[in-house]
Structure 1
Amino acid sequence: MKKAVSFLVVLLLVIMLIPSANSFNSSAPQIFSSSLEQKQPLSSTPNVLYDRTAVVAYADKFWDIYNPSYNNYSDSGGDCANFVSQCMIAGGLSLWQGYNGNGAGVDSKGAMPFCDYLHQNLVNYQSATWDYIEWSGTAPSWLSPGDVIIYGDASNETSPDYWRHAVVVVEGYGNNAKISGHTTNRYHVAWNYAFPSPFHRTNFYRLPNGTISEYTQFKVTASALNVRVGPGVQSPYDTPIGQIKLDQQYIAYEYVVNATGKKWWHFWFDNRSAWCSADYTATINENIKFKVDTANLNVRTGPGTGYQIVSNIFSGQTFTAFELLTNGTLDWYHFWCQGRNDTWCCANYTTPITDNMPRSIAGWIPYWSWNSGISTFTNNIELFDEISPFWYKANADGSLNSYSGAGNQTFVKLAHDNDVKVLPLISNEYNKTLVNQILSNLSIMNNHISNIVNLVVANNYDGIDIDYEGLYASDKNNFTLFISNLAEELHSKNRLLSICVQAKWSDSITWDGPGAMDYENLSKHADKLRIMAYDEHWSTSEPGPIASYSWTENIVKYAITKSSKDKIVLGVPFYGRDWWQTGSDTWDSDAYTYTGISGLMTSEGATREWNETAKVPQFTYYDHLGDGKDHYVYYEDNQSLSYKLDLVVKYDLGGICAWSLGNEDQNNFDIMRSKLAVGKSFIFYLSQGWNLITLPLETSYTAEALALNITNCTHIGCWNNSLQKFIIHEKGTGTDNFNLQPGIGYHVYVSTKSKINITGTALKTLSVDLYKGWNSIGWRNFTNIDAESLAQNITNCTAIAYWDSTLGRFIIHPAGAEVSNFAVERGSGYFVYVEEEGY
């Protein structure tokens, strides 16, 4: 906490040193609005998951054998409660509370060997419904697979023992239920096999199903991290049951903050639920998250059924895959399991996990069809997060040429007024030699980068979109270097970089064009990879879909193994082509907008056909009035777009970008509204040390949730305007975990350069109450102003201050003075001093 304390001292010194001023604008308009109610974060509730199918699958696998990952009590009083405990753990529960809330009764493997302890855990800590019968009777109607039965002696015996033998229900319901158990081993026998003799009481336990409201993906940051049976290192959790290793990724479905104030992740390890300390992890959103949706799935050493089985995973369990391969008719996930890197499972029996977060919708507007493109954009402007007008062309000397209409500030203002970021496109017009000349000369490359950055800043663009297509494959490394250097310069000014990358679906694609696109390394630097997933069949190819479903899915499946999913933007086509044969094996075609396709179909009397395999529309016609040839037309409409949006949701991609606006079926936008949780994105680059930021979107974050979202963040600070008091939340401690409000400035400490990357919805109105003294505010507008303009627009304001993260100190502008009149920029936080309360 030394850095946090030092920062507080600096802030207090600033407050004492600020001079008073009397100048203010009493007629200033209201520029800040009402604090928004915040949703509560994910809670650490018990019974967050109970997958009954997994319970039954585990019982079926181990009913007559003993899992070596657990203790075996068959020769020391019986293994029945231990076995039932294992089944519950396989279903997602943890018995770490023990029978007394402090772990008592839990053995070194996390199970319970005694039936009476199991009873107390079920009733007191698993919130199970408990009922029983004595001597005679029927099972309760709610009894279901996954529920627990414990047999005992009746209460009227001389020495009653109500809890002597435990079993788990594996089949049937109510009085038809069947059970399995250990000591003696039994498989799917009637629940009343032992009732009323030798046992005279039957206790029934109905476990709640539980729900998962949020998955958290985390990466191990230590060389090795111990996995334990409970959230702590004290007895009985002191003996690790395994380890997970550096950079391995897992998925937590619950967390707790234990008695020492430390956060622990509850996650799947091998075929059981387990715990690890969150202190040695970083939260991420990378690679493929998947859930098992079959009862029992084999884990193998390779991507095929001929490889050795090394473990099993069960229904509902969740993991992270870092590779996806197709072997014959089956897909295979290469994933982290048991702390190993060499494990595979069949992806056909899993479901990808999606976060249902708001997704970015973007579009390109070509200068040659500006009027139709701007009409589409304006009519659907609330959908868009980013817009890319086709405005600039690169030259071989590193300079830039402008296309018609480039730099239209009326358009930029229209976009910004509607919370849409403007990232104009720079094209190479498919000239690979031109780009080679830029990339092969470092001086020209640097000049090109300077020209791009200067263009972006001078025109108040939010970033740039690089569309250099058809490059020499041999330029791959130099192109990556160019993107790396350009990204560094843009990010230093908090501007964004997106790249249009040509479609590829394998590392074996090494020819010019896609062969120059190193998805993995490009994604390390760019903010977005816009994958141009179209032209599967191109202008002179044989006829076929512009982008078939399976072709598009293969591109996506490849991309998500190379880049974090939030950076992947699926380029979707809004056009079609009409092919005709020009020779024995040659073809030509014309491109059409959707409106053009509709007119062509009408004029030729053709009928739309749906290609179920490719999931695209098509039709054919004979041009009897023209060239006298058969024509083959493939195109895109709202139905084909719907399937592509399903892929965005299925694989949890960052969003879509449409080529191009003005070409579309007008119903496309209704499909977007229904299929995607449309939102706005915000990316802000942080310097090492303290940063003063704001969240310019409507979001739901606590200080802890924001800290977990930012790599290498350790503290989030907040100045309480009403109390005139500074509060610091240290990540993982569970203390001072305040809700973040829009329009407020927050202090973020990162140990290395990092960034904020969040999604939310646009803020339509915003007000912040200001109190006498210092107030922390944030600037959410796209239009930047200076400190003096801000001061003049706040009643009774005498000073504005911002935190210079490079110098590590506040810069103060006294209202009415000419000194330190700094820029006020979107995403940054500021302090304002007012003499009287206001807003």
Structure 2
Amino acid sequence: MKKAVSFLVVLLLVIMLIPSANSFNSSAPQIFSSSLEQKQPLSSTPNVLYDRTAVVAYADKFWDIYNPSYNNYSDSGGDCANFVSQCMIAGGLSLWQGYNGNGAGVDSKGAMPFCDYLHQNLVNYQSATWDYIEWSGTAPSWLSPGDVIIYGDASNETSPDYWRHAVVVVEGYGNNAKISGHTTNRYHVAWNYAFPSPFHRTNFYRLPNGTISEYTQFKVTASALNVRVGPGVQSPYDTPIGQIKLDQQYIAYEYVVNATGKKWWHFWFDNRSAWCSADYTATINENIKFKVDTANLNVRTGPGTGYQIVSNIFSGQTFTAFELLTNGTLDWYHFWCQGRNDTWCCANYTTPITDNMPRSIAGWIPYWSWNSGISTFTNNIELFDEISPFWYKANADGSLNSYSGAGNQTFVKLAHDNDVKVLPLISNEYNKTLVNQILSNLSIMNNHISNIVNLVVANNYDGIDIDYEGLYASDKNNFTLFISNLAEELHSKNKLLTICVQAKWSDSITWDGPGAMDYENLSKHADKLRIMAYDEHWSTSEPGPIASYSWTENIVKYAITKSSKDKIVLGVPFYGRDWWQTGSDTWDSDAYTYTGISGLMTSEGATREWNETAKVPQFTYYDHLGDGKDHYVYYEDNQSLSYKLDLVVKYDLGGICAWSLGNEDQNNFDIMRSKLAVGKSFIFYLSQGWNLITLPLETSYTAEALALNITNCTHIGCWNNSLQKFIIHEKGTGTDNFNLQPGIGYHVYVSTKSKINITGTALKTLSVDLYKGWNSIGWRNFTNIDAESLAQNITNCTAIAYWDSTLGRFIIHPAGAEVSNFAVERGSGYFVYVEEEGY
């Protein structure tokens, strides 16, 4: 008992440091308020990309006209500085810090009205390299498109006339540079057209290119949110330049915490950069994010060149689209711009924004071809993040039947030992009536959910894969309700739910099967939608591709308008079919594995042909020895798979799932390794308030990066084992932004229920140094153990504690005692008390 008294006293001190959910306030947990920095000035060195192509495109668009979004100073001494600063803003910069020595600066539209103001801004706030010549000389060799020139009178150094006329470089380099400008409108004229007469001095400004470290997508949560020229509501940006509306989405490429401690997003409003308060937004990862990759792109009121042009966007600017349509040979994005919902641009002149994160690779293994499937899985096990054995069948009363080999714990252990999650498949064997009986009776539905959850927990599965196909379209809402309730129960136990959904490419598809699949609402509850993008041509259809490229792309285009892309998993086929005609307009076919297809081609003396339109292989043969008919064979190999993986990358999908392992061209796996960034994924569901978690993958996160990855997260904390104290990072500040390490427990505060969804690579070995006293650790293993077993495996350990997020307090298990012997689970963090240092 003496040992127990010593660690309990220390633990009470630890508990005093952790606030309950009730003690949390909107700015920071009170206990940590003294260590939180509330203000963070923007660095004087721009950290955003300066897109010189956009600068030139803007100058070419407006060199002889005035942009109505800005003020016009042509009748107030000249519009030259105003025009140049507009070009800089189009390139991605913000001039909101620009003040000269007398306190003047940007105007109400965020531009610079006068040349001396512009000079001060370039030198003091944009960190421009500055050089000049007087009376004679040549331009510096570094002068490039996007750079700025200000002419002046060398005899008036002490007055504003020292900087009298501003222009922007739009063509050429060094002494061959050409400029454009306002006041007397100029278009691509030599830089020295006004030097040495009438101006005797020329100032050259080289702007840094900068970088974009990350994009943050946000959604407006207020009915209307003012858009401003700088991050605040005080002068000179107290007059809004526009509004963005509820649920509209934009992409921030920078944020700052201003002098009042408020966070502001820097984003593209239309053809200019602008700011809005982050307080009335939520960070998300939904829909299509794209970047303009042409100099000047028209914004129209509809998806076609016949619609009215209402604006222009320029190179490097980024936006969010919520619809993608094909009109003739062109694709069109329906996107949010200028606070409008009716704006479109041609997607052919954009590129998707991707995060280059690893993607999930999964596969199904049918019980009827278990041996070949398990062989494929074992030989390529490092590729996989999830595996779904075809093990269970639903019954009309809500119970479950097992197929041959179901629950094989040797297989589960093999997968877990290699950081592969096991999500067995439950089938309805294409029986729509069976599922209707489950869905139409709430008692049976609840019984079905309980049976599934109990099955997952009892067998240490990581979740379940629901494969209910061919459903009545009229069961759409009840099926969504079933998935919603099942997800809630599984997520409460930190288990995953994936759904096999039949392919669709339009809301107009309302027939049985795909008509029952409400992608948008299903994706709100399930962890992943596995889209079965195959059987474009099926067993009794006319011959054709299993999954042509254009058909698959149309499915993807539709899906990404209904679900966040990280939840979309593209189901890819590993098989083929051999069709023959049975009547004037009827057909039949046999399914083949890739090995079977190769054997058939050899035995029939056929030659592989490549269908460039469908991007699949095919061949034909005449069956002399059999039915005496012409046969038409379409199948999938590594070349056709390669094109499908290109779609995964192009549209930034969450990954792929293969139907089915054992059927494949063996070269498929080399294509996967070369096309996809292979990794593992981790999803953990968080309760409102404080949670104690760990990252069971090899990944690279700072506290701020993790906080940004979690919806409604405000703080990330860690216990410093060596210093024996807490460190807390508040999202949106630069204070205590520590690096996260595997094997350590971290405290996460969320204002509502939320989840973590990260990707990384498997941890092979891991050790954590333990210091005398309390230590924070994380459990990365798939195998669950209890607190007593963990304590017995740690030298000199006298107690294990975990944070109960529901109760808002620690639960303690004294080593050797029978009380509070809780389960130790993957992804959770724990506190370990040791009396001597070790590991």
TM-score, structure 1 length as denominator? 0.93
The offset of 1:80, in angstroms, is 0.4
Q: Distance in 2 between matches of 1:815 and 1:30?
A: 33
1:687-706, aligned counterparts within 5 Å? 687-706=687-706
Counterpart contact for 1:25–1:792, Cα < 8 Å: no
Deviation at 1:328, TM superposition (A): 3.0
- Cα distance change of structure 1 residues 549 and 775 upon mapping to structure 2, 3 Å threshold: same
Match of 1:660 in 2: 660
Q: Note closer, same or farther for the CA distance 1:580–1:230 as it changes in structure 2 (3 Å cut).
A: same
Distance 1:187 1:353 in 2: 33
Compute the displacement of 1:750 (Å): 1.8
**Partner Cα distance (2:830, 2:180) in 1:** 64
Deviations 1:778-802 (A, max 9, x none): 1111000001001111111111111
Partner of 1:577: 577
Change in Cα spacing, 1:307 to 1:158, as seen in structure 2 (3 Å) is closer
Q: Secondary structure at the match of 2:707?
A: helix
Distance between the aligned counterparts of 2:727 and 2:127, measured in 1? Answer: 36
Q: Name the counterpart of 1:795.
A: 795
Report if the CA contact (8 A) 1:528-1:568 is conserved: yes
User: Alpha-carbon deviation of 1:234?
Assistant: 3.2
Partner residue in 2 for 1:632: 632
Per the alignment, do residues 124 and 25 of structure 1 end up closer, same or farther by CA in structure 2, a change over 3 Å counting? Answer: closer
Greater CA drift, 321-330 or 603-612: 321-330
Distance 1:684 1:198 in 2: 68
Please give the per-residue CA displacement for 1:85-131, whole angstroms capped at 9, x wherever unaligned.
00010011111221569985222211112222322322333233333
SS at match of 2:154: coil
Residue 832 and residue 27 in structure 1: after superposition, are their counterparts in 2 closer, same or farther (change >3 A)?
farther
Deviation of residue 29 (structure 1)? 38
Instruction: Name the CA shift for 1:589/1:519 in 2 (closer, same or farther; >3 Å).
Output: same
Q: Deviations over 1:675-728 (max 9, x none)?
A: 111111111111122211111112222222222221222222221111111222
1:490 and 2:490 equivalent?
yes
CA distance, structure 1, for counterparts of residue 21 and residue 340 of structure 2: 65
Whether contact under 8 Å (2:438, 2:448) holds in the other structure is yes
- Between 20-29 and 518-527, the greater mean CA deviation after superposition: 20-29
| Equivalent residues of 2:44, 2:125 under 8 A apart | no
Moved more, 421-430 or 619-628: 619-628
| RMSD of Structure 2 on Structure 1 (CA) | 6.3
SS in 1 for 2:23: coil
CA contact (8 A) 2:289 2:352 kept: yes
Going from structure 1 to structure 2, the CA distance change for 1:530 and 1:15 (only over 3 Å counts) comes to closer
Confirm or deny: 8 A CA contact 1:34 1:767 kept in the other structure.
no
Does the aligned pair in 1 maintain the 2:264–2:278 contact within 8 Å? yes
In 2, Cα distance between equivalents of 1:22 and 1:791: 31
How far the C-alpha of 1:488 sits from its partner, in A, is: 0.9
Query: 2 CA distance for matches of 1:66 and 1:811?
Result: 67
Q: Distance in 2 between matches of 1:372 and 1:685?
A: 35
Shift in alpha-carbon separation, 1:658–1:144, aligned structure 2, 3 A: same
- The 2-side partners of 1:734 and 1:828 are apart by 26
Deviation larger for 3-12 or 449-458: 3-12
SS of the residue 1:32 aligns to? helix
Is the 1:365–1:388 contact (alpha carbons within 8 Å) kept by the matching residues of 2? yes
The one-character-per-residue Cα deviations of 1:113-152 (angstroms, maximum 9, x if unpaired) are 2222322322333233333333333333433322212112
Q: 1:26 to 1:460 in 2, by over 3 A?
A: farther
Q: Secondary structure at the match of 2:478?
A: helix
Change (3 A) 1:37 1:529: farther
Find the residue that maps to 1:31 and give its secondary structure: helix
Q: Which residue of 1 aligns with 2:109?
A: 109
- Residue 161 of structure 1 deviates from its aligned partner by 4.3
Q: Contact 1:229–1:275 at 8 Å: present in 2 too? A: yes
Q: Is the 8 A contact 2:611 2:617 kept in 1?
A: yes
Q: Is the partner of 2:656 in helix, strand or coil? A: strand
Q: Does the C-alpha gap of structure 1 residues 30 and 316 become closer, same or farther in structure 2, counting only changes over 3 Å?
A: closer
**Residues 32, 728 of structure 2: 8 Å contact kept:** no
**Secondary structure class of the residue paired with 1:375:** helix
How far did residue 6 of structure 1 move? 23
Q: Which moved more, 1:229-238 or 1:264-273?
A: 229-238
Secondary structure at 1:234 match in 2: coil
SS in 2 for 1:193: helix
Distance (whole Å) between structure 1 residues aligned to residue 150 and residue 29 of structure 2: 71
Q: Give yes or no for contact 2:382–2:418 (8 Å, CA) kept in 1.
A: yes
Aligned length: 839
Aligned-residue sequence identity (percent) comes to 100
Cα 1:31–1:37 change in 2 (3 A) is closer
CA distance in structure 2 between the partners assigned to 1:96 and 1:624 by the alignment: 80
Cα deviation, residue 829, structure 1: 1.0
Residues 1:689 and 1:288: Cα distance change in structure 2 (over 3 Å): same
- Maintained 8 Å contact 2:7/2:799: no
* Cα deviation 1:12-50 (Å, max 9, x = unaligned): 446699999999999999999999999999999615212
Deviation at 1:409, TM superposition (A): 0.2
Q: Name the SS for the 2:33 alignment partner.
A: coil
When residues 408 and 137 of structure 1 are mapped into structure 2, their CA distance, relative to the original with a 3 A threshold, is same
CA–CA separation in structure 1 for the residues paired with 2:104 and 2:24: 66
20 and 795 in structure 1: CA distance in 2 versus 1, 3 angstrom threshold: farther
Q: Deviations over 1:352-388 (max 9, x none)?
A: 1111111110000111111111111111111110000
Does the 8 A contact of 1:96 with 1:103 survive in 2?
no
User: Is 2:501–2:532's contact at 8 Å kept on the other side of the alignment?
Assistant: yes
Runs of 4+ aligned residues of structure 1 deviating over 4 Å after TM superposition are: 1-45, 99-104, 155-161
Structure 2 residue runs of 5 or longer lacking an equivalent are none
Measured at CA, do residues 102 and 795 of structure 1 come closer, stay the same or move farther in structure 2, by a change above 3 Å? Answer: farther
Given that 1:153 and 1:160 are in contact with CA atoms closer than 8 Å, whether structure 2 keeps it comes out as no
Residues 526/740 of structure 1: CA separation in 2 closer, same or farther (3 Å cut) = same
Shift of 1:559: 0.3
CA shift in 2, pair 1:11/1:93, >3 Å? farther
1:454-496 CA-to-partner distances (Å, cap 9, x unmatched) read 1101100000000011111111111111111111111111100
Tell me the residue number matched to 1:712. 712
CA spacing shift, 1:44–1:546, aligned 2, 3 Å: farther
Deviates more, 1:212-221 or 1:458-467: 212-221
List per-residue Cα deviations over 1:717-755 (Å, max 9, x = no partner).
221111111222222233232222211111222222111
* Other structure's SS at 2:681 match: strand
Q: Indicate how the Cα distance of structure 1 residues 26 and 193 shifts in structure 2: closer, same or farther if over 3 A, else same.
A: closer
CA distance in 1: counterparts of 2:20 and 2:485, whole angstroms: 45
1:127 maps to which residue? Answer: 127
Q: What is the CA–CA distance in structure 2 between the aligned matches of 1:21 and 1:566, rounded to whole Å?
A: 30
Describe the shift of the 1:460–1:44 C-alpha distance in structure 2 as closer, same or farther (beyond 3 A): farther
Bigger mean CA offset, 517-526 vs 290-299: 290-299
Q: 1:36 to 1:649 in 2, by over 3 A?
A: farther
Deviates more, 1:416-425 or 1:758-767: 758-767
Tell me the CA shift for residue 238 of structure 1: 2.8
Kept in 2: contact 1:31–1:767 (CA 8 A)? no
* Preserved CA contact (<8 Å) 1:42 1:213: no
More deviation in 355-364 or 98-107?
98-107
Contact 2:578–2:631 under 8 Å retained in 1 = yes
Distance apart, 1:636 and its partner CA: 0.9
Distance in 1 separating the partners of 2:33 and 2:767: 1
Stretch moving more, 768-777 or 418-427: 768-777
Determine if contact 1:33/1:765 at 8 Å carries over to the other structure.
no
Deviations 1:409-430 (A, max 9, x none): 0000000000000000011111
Report if the CA contact (8 A) 2:89-2:273 is conserved.
Answer: yes
How big is the shift at 1:263? 3.0
Separation in 1 of the partners of 2:610 and 2:48? 44
Alignment check: 8 A CA contact 1:621 1:631 kept: yes
Contact 2:40 2:256 in 1 (8 A): no
Report the alpha carbon displacement of residue 3 of structure 1 after superposing the two structures with TM.
Answer: 31
CA shift in 2, pair 1:632/1:426, >3 Å: same
Asked if structure 1 preserves the Cα contact closer than 8 Å seen for 2:270 and 2:338, the reply is: yes
Say if 1:39 and 1:700, in contact at 8 Å, map to a contact too: no
Q: Show the counterpart of 1:320.
A: 320
Query: In structure 2, how many angstroms separate the alpha carbons of the residues matched to 1:349 and 1:141?
Result: 32
Relative distance call for 1:41 and 1:120 in structure 2 (3 A) is closer
Following the alignment from structure 1 to structure 2, what is the Cα–Cα distance between the partners of residues 30 and 574? 57
Answer whether contact 1:261 1:734 (CA < 8 A) is retained.
Answer: no
The CA deviation at 1:10 is 12
